[in-house]
Structures are given as C-alpha cells and as structure tokens.
C-alpha cells in the first residue's frame, strides 16, 4: 500500500524482519508511517540472500514472539508469503525502490532524501537496514572469477558439480547441506569447529562430515582462485593446518558474513563505543541511538535472529508512541540475574556487570542481554576446589564477586595471587582447547556468571576490543603455565601472577608458520625460545644422514629453551607439523 503524503510520524528504513514488524505495529495502531525498501521486494536478506526452500528457524525457541506480523518456523517461501499477506491485511504503507541517501534534521523534524531525489519528512526514524548490503569478501587473488559467488539461489538446480563452500556460519552450513544431496561438496572452515552456527545446523553438518557426505577442511583459509590444472573451471588454493591443498571446483560460494554499515551510520552522526568498524552503535532506552529521534534495531543493532528483530520492531513503535515496554527477553534475562545477591532490577544489574568487568565496556546492552540470557549464576563457597590440572572448562566464568586463586601444590593455604572481580576463568580452554594447568580454589565466597563456551566465543569474536583483551589474557596465562612447567617447583613463588609475564610478552614476536615450514635448523645460532599457541612442531636430529623425529610438541607447550640453559647452537631442527 502507498500513501501520497510525504509527512509521517515515523519513517522506517528497511523491510526485513525488524522493519516489517515495526511497520506492522505502526499500521495496527493507526500511526502515520512509511516503510522504505531499497529494492523491489520485501526483506532483501530473506528474499534475495536465502536459498530457495531454505528452512527458517524459530529461534530462540524459549523466547516469545511479540509482533503484529506473523512468523513461524518454515520454508523461506512460507515465511515470505505470510509477510506479504500481513502487509495487505495491516495495510502497511510501503515504498519499494526507495534507497536512502541521507538524513538531516532533528527529533520531531527529520528529512530523509532518497536516491531518487524524493524527500520524506518524519518525526522519528527507525533504521532496520541489516548488514547484508555490505558483504564481507575474502580479498584474495582470483576472487573476481566468474565461478565465485556469495549466495545460493536454488540448490536443487545444481547436480553433479564440484562445489566449494567457504565459511562456518549458518548460511554456509545450510548451503553445504542442501548442495550435498546431489553434488560433491567441500567445506572450508577457518576454525576447528562450528561454534558460530545454531546447534541444529552444527549437529547436521557434523553428521554429514562423519558420513562422508561432505568433505571439510578445518583450520584452513583460501589463498587464491587460479586456473585449473585438471580441467575444472578453476582451482581454489587453500592453506590448511596440515599444509597447502588445491581443490578443483566448478563453483565457489563464499559465506564470510557481512560488515556493519559503519560509513552510513557515521554520516548520520551516530556514536559508537569504539572506533572499531565492527562495533555496534550505542543504543539507549527504547532502541534510541545517540542522536535523538533515530532508532536502531535488528542486525544493525547486533541482533540478527529473525524473532529478536521482530520483537524489537514491535517494541520500538511502542516506545515512539509513548508506551515504553520491557524487551521480550526480559523474563529470560531476569531469571538469570535475579540470583545475584542484592538484585533489584535488570537494567541496574546489567549496568553493574559492565562496571565490574572492563571487558564488557564496549558491549551494547542489547548484545549483553543475549549473553546473559544463555548464562547462569553459580555460588562457590570459600575453600572449594574448583579446578585441577587436566580439567577442561565447559563454560567461561566471569567473577561477579569474590576471588579465585591458582595453586601449584593443590593446597588452599599455598594459593597465592587471586583472580578478582571482572576477571574471566576458562580463557585457555576457549582459545586453545587446552585443560587447566594448575589447581584453582575459591579464596573467598565467590559468585560467577557462567556462560557456555560457544555463546561466549560468539560474543568475544564479534567485538574486536573484547577479542584483543581475551587474546592478551590468554597469552599471559599460557606463558604462565609454560614457565611453571619449566622452573623447579621449589623455586616458584606462590604469589606469581600472569601479569608478571607481560613484559616478556611485550618483547616477544608473533610468528606464523605454514605446515612443513622450518622454524630453525640443527646447528643454527640460539636466539630465542618458542611457545606454541596453535598447531604442533616436530623436533628432529640428523642421524645416519637422515632427519629423525625425536619429539612432537603440541599447542600450549614450549621448545627451544634447552639451548638457552645449556648454551651453544641449536641441538635439533624444528619444523611446523601443523599450522
């Protein structure tokens, strides 16, 4: 439906799940509104980027849907049909081919200029443009080859093809699973697992790999698309942890995600918690951005799930209409936070968490809510043995109150320095999969916010400042556990801290080696020792004219330090076994 009037109570930009839900609620309330869509059809992400027949999940399953527009788990086509029907039923005022060029003015009197030159006036603006207009590319040679694409239209139309899918998120896994029914599929995963994907997709892809329906190259990165040496349309060269791999391919689908539309938002003078281009805009009550009268919802606000986005669309219109309501996930978040000592209400508790943990300072409240929603509060009495050497962490624990002390001897009375409020436990497991290297006791009565490793990993990888802070803590703890494995126990002070090794780290250098690349050779001058963050290294010596492997050193361990103690040149040859 179209409205000839150029003045509205609210202008909503983007007809994806968030924008459509906002427009639906506005129409239901009789609020003057316009829904601006840059393309010729609704929901560009679902309509254009989702493959034909894609199964759309209704997640989070424990969160209620709050929207005037319908949404239920089903195929892409079923979801779109329901939305088209609701546009007619609710008489939503939608304008197609109405790409936004600029926004000027102030709250109560905004002017939106479209690329066509048309001008829209609105008292408030809701930005629901998502991220898919800013697709992330790999930036490798040959990426412009005709067989390279960034979406899959219809998996059923492809048969007996060799297809390479790059990525490990939901879109990549769903494409690979659909294509594998009648094609030979190779999946390229930069990581060792599928922590970015929904549980059902991760389980399905792991079954397919186990059943040899899909070939997956883990810990791998594409390096180039080149002319094929085997008659295929092209080869994709891949650098994997086990070495270089060349895969002949008929089609390459890159699913590397998308980048927030930072330049557009900067042009609107919206504020961000940091200069990081992946940061989400600062958002206050009712989804209002730092510029009064402009609201940000959906993927652009860091909440890409359809149900979350639709809930926000409904809620932002309630706020604009003068009836602010709590977010739909309020009860779920409160059920976690109410277990905190002295809990009063959700908003104050979230603020308190950010004040206690510098790590969370750049996280928006919207993203923090989702982090907390999947967490739990645990109470650990003073003196409790929490971890022993060899234990693995199944969660990341934020210390909300109290202290936790590492102990080399396994006795609480020998525990020295303590991790305090705002520090994280389980970082080494999250980052490298290694177990605990020391004992750990609750030095005081302690309260923890425990989050599944997968959920924590998503948050830490989505905010650059957090990722960098986690990396710094990881390196300190890895060096710490390395040195307590080298130095005789009786010479170690119990109050030694990971931070004591920061000066050593500052003098170090991060080196990357490909599989089978030599680190140093037997007889070379000794200039440093090494700690393996990822992969493994073989140590070999020349015997009877041949290199014979003496040891294989895995991640979390050190090599090359004997010569520093003994003096002299290298005693063996070190070669990267896996990158």
Count of domains for the chain: 4
Q: What is the mean pLDDT of the chain?
A: 90
CB burial of residue 493 (10 Å; 0-12, 13-18, 19+): exposed
Cis? peptide before 60, omega within 30° of 0: yes
Kindly state whether residues 302 and 197 are assigned to the same domain: no
Beta-bridged to residue 106, according to DSSP, are 109
Q: Which among 369, 335, 339, 378 has a CA at the least distance from the CA of 351?
A: 369
Residues 315 and 448 in one domain: no
Residue 402 inside a domain? The answer is: yes
Range of the domain at 439: 341-501
Q: Is residue 479 part of a domain?
A: yes
Classify residue 491 as exposed, middle or buried by CB count within 10 Å of its CB (0-12, 13-18, 19+): exposed
Q: Which distant-in-sequence residues (6+ apart) come within 8 Å of 297 by Cβ?
A: 18, 19, 22, 126, 127, 128, 287, 303, 309, 312, 313, 316
Last residue of a domain, one of 204, 238, 254: 254
pTM summary value: 0.82
Q: In terms of domains, do 557 and 574 share one? A: yes
The CATH number that applies at residue 363 is 2.60.120.10
Q: Which of 213-217, 337-341, 408-412, 522-526 has the lowest mean pLDDT?
A: 408-412
Co-location of 388 and 522 in the same domain: no
Same structural domain for residues 494 and 359?
yes
Higher pLDDT, 444 or 430: 444
- What is the Cα–Cα distance from 302 to 63, expressed in whole angstroms? 17
CA gap 541, 551 in Å, rounded: 10
**Residue 106 CA to chain centroid, in angstroms?**
34
Q: Does one domain contain both 303 and 387?
A: no
Asked whether residue 358 falls in the same domain as residue 479, the answer is yes
Shared-domain flag, residues 86 and 152? no
Question: By C-alpha distance, which of 202, 200, 203, 166 is closest to 185?
Answer: 166
Cα gap 101→117, rounded to integer Å? 9
Within a domain: residue 1? no
In a domain, 141, yes or no: no
Domain boundary among the residues 254, 273, 302 is at 254
Q: Are residues 266 and 403 in the same domain?
A: no
Assess whether 486 and 515 both reside in one domain.
Answer: no
Summarised one tens digit per residue, pLDDT across range 54-71 is 999 998 888 999 999 999
Do 389 and 481 lie in one domain? The reply is yes
Domain of residue 182, CATH code: 3.50.50.60
Kindly state whether residue 423 falls inside one of the protein's structural domains. Answer: yes
Q: Which of 194, 223, 254 lies at the terminal end of a domain, its last residue? A: 254
How far is Cα of residue 405 from the mean position of the Cα atoms in its chain? 30
- Reference 185, options 151, 160, 203; nearest CA is 160
Q: Which of 148-152, 264-268, 414-418, 522-526 bottoms out in mean pLDDT, i.e. has the lowest?
A: 414-418
**Three-class secondary structure of residue 128 per DSSP:** coil
Question: In this predicted model, what pLDDT tens digit does every residue of 359-388 receive, in sequence order?
Answer: 888 788 888 998 999 999 999 999 999 999
Give me the DSSP letters along 357-399: -GGGTTS-HHHHHHHHHT-EEEEE-TT-EEE-TT---SEEEEE
In the chain, what percentage of residues exceed pLDDT 90?
A: 61
**Is residue 376 helix, strand or coil?**
strand
Neighbours of 286 (CB within 10 A): 17
pLDDT digits (tens, 9 = 90+) for 197-209: 888 999 999 999 9
DSSP, collapsed to helix, strand or coil, labels residue 243 as strand
Report yes or no on 85 lying in a domain: yes
Question: Residue written as tokens 């009712």?
Answer: 286
22 with 56, same domain? Answer: yes
Tokens linked to 48 = 């254009």
Cα 344 from Cα 23, distance rounded (Å): 34
């Amino acid at each position: 439906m179209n409205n000839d009037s150029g003045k509205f109570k609210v202008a909503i930009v983007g007809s994806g799940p968030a924008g459509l839900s906002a427009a639906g609620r506005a129409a239901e309330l009789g609020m003057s509104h316009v829904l601006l869509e840059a393309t010729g059809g609704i929901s560009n992400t679902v309509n254009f980027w989702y493959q034909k027949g894609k199964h759309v999940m209704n997640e989070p399953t424990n969160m209620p849907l709050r929207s005037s527009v319908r949404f239920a788990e089903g195929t892409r086509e079923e979801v779109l049909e329901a939305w088209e029907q609701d546009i007619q039923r609710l008489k939503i005022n939608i304008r197609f081919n109405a790409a936004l060029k600029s926004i000027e003015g102030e709250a109560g009197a905004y002017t939106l200029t479209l690329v066509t030159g048309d001008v829209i006036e609105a008292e408030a603006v809701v930005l629901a443009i998502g991220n898919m207009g800013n697709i992330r590319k790999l930036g490798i040679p040959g990426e412009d080859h005709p067989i390279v694409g960034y979406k899959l239209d219809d998996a059923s139309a492809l048969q007996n093809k060799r297809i390479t899918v790059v990525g490990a998120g939901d879109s990549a896994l769903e494409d690979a699973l659909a294509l594998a029914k009648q094609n030979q599929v190779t999946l390229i995963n930069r990581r060792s697992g599928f922590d970015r994907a929904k549980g059902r997709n991760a389980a399905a892809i792991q079954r397919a790999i186990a059943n040899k329906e899909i070939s997956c190259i883990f810990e791998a990165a594409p390096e180039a698309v080149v002319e094929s040496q085997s008659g295929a349309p092209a080869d994709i060269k891949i650098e994997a942890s086990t070495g270089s791999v060349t895969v002949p391919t008929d089609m390459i689908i890159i699913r590397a995600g998308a980048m927030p539309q930072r330049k557009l938002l900067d042009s609107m003078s919206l504020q961000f918690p940091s200069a990081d281009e992946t940061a989400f805009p600062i958002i206050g009550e009712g989804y209002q951005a730092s510029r009064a009268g402009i609201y940000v919802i959906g993927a652009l606000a860091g909440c890409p799930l359809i149900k979350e986005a639709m809930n926000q669309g409904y809620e932002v219109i309630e706020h604009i209409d003068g009836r602010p309501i709590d977010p739909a996930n309020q009860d779920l978040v409160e059920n976690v936070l109410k277990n905190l000592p002295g809990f009063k209400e959700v908003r104050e508790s979230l603020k308190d968490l950010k004040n206690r943990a510098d790590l969370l300072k750049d996280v928006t409240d919207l993203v923090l809510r989702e982090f907390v929603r999947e967490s739990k509060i645990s109470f650990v009495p003073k003196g409790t043995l929490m971890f022993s050497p060899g234990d693995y962490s199944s969660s990341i624990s934020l210390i909300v109150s109290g202290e936790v002390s590492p102990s080399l001897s396994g006795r609480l009375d020998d525990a020295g320095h303590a991790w305090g409020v705002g520090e994280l436990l389980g970082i080494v497991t999250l980052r490298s999969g290694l177990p605990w290297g020391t004992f750990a006791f609750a030095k005081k009565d302690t309260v923890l916010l425990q989050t599944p490793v997968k959920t924590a990993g998503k948050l830490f990888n989505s905010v650059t400042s957090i990722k960098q802070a986690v990396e710094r803590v990881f390196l300190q703890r890895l060096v710490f556990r390395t040195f307590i494995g080298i130095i005789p126990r009786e010479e170690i002070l119990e109050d030694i801290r990971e931070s004591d090794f920061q000066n050593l780290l500052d003098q170090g250098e991060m080196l990357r080696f490909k599989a089978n690349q030599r680190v140093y050779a037997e007889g070379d001058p000794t200039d440093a020792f090494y700690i393996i963050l990822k992969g493994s290294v073989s140590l070999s010596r020349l015997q009877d004219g041949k290199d014979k492997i003496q040891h294989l050193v895995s991640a979390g361990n050190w090599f090359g330090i004997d010569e520093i103690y003994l003096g002299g040149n290298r005693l063996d040859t070190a070669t990267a076994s896996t990158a």
